[in-house]
Copies of this chain bind each other. A is one copy, B any other.
């Protein structure tokens, strides 16, 4: 099958590296240098200390018809990708963004494409323009965005390597919400406090602040099972205690964070329901201040 992967970040490279074992993969990158590097040297993937190299074609500019297109760009680059996709013939497109803000954009997108949503539960870190570390083996859970047919997709996505399972679920919304909840509890705090994930539960003051954020998010999302979900968040802090969250990494490296996709989305939902979310409002604004300091565009 022919699979197109849009975006050459950690998740884009991870998908390309695994899926190229059974499929013809084309990677669409933003920068020409990255496309050339992938075409010359292939994609290097390191997992459990072992390294392997996969061949993939790469190019800039999204064109062609594929059995499946996978969009891996971050939310703050999604809109430009949607504009490009609008010019393509009708095909299947799987969206792998973090947070839930992209659902609102897809809802408003007038398109004939068949849309699918996926939730990535892998850990991955981009090492260079052609190399990715698979730091945590998980799965990708996916489902149809509206009422798209899933039979062909299910068949297609059975042919994947053992360390890169693609699991169909009709409860993807719930999976996405729980991942968002974890993200909104861990990411902003670790970025603002400049601490690793584990410190959020070893420092009682930080844990209290995380609990405040959790309660606001639970009420905005209207999620039941509050105790189970809080235990889930704590267990993720334990399992990833030595990790720097993606948002902390973004701040340290001076990159734009996924603030809008994560906190921004929840604040929009809060406003629509007239729910006051002071801690999330505070995190959102002070992250914005910290980001602007970073890029030196602040005053």
Chain A residues proximal to chain B, CB less than 8 Å: 192-195, 203-206, 208-209, 212, 252, 276-279, 281-282, 285-286, 289-290, 293-294, 298-299
Contact = CB atoms under 8 A, between A and B. Distances in A.
A252 B299 contact: yes
A193 B281 CA distance: 10
Contacts of A285: 192-195
Contacts of A289: 192-194, 290
Contact of A290 (B204, B252, B282, B290): B290
A289 B277 CA distance: 23
A192 B286 contact: yes
A107 to B, nearest CB: 27
Majority-rule SS of A interface residues: helix
A278 B193 contact: no
Contacts of A206: 278, 281-282
A286 B208 contact: no
17 contacts: A192-B285, A192-B289, A193-B285, A193-B289, A194-B285, A203-B281, A204-B276, A205-B281, A206-B282, A208-B276, A209-B279, A212-B278, A252-B299, A289-B290, A290-B290, A290-B293, A293-B293
Contact of A286 (B278, B286, B299): B286
Those 5 A-B pairs whose CB atoms lie nearest each other, nearest first: A205-B281, A208-B278, A205-B278, A192-B286, A194-B289
Given A290-B289, A293-B294, A299-B252, A282 B205 contact: yes
Most buried by B among A192, A194, A195, A209: A194
Given A290-B289, A290-B293, A282 B193 contact: yes
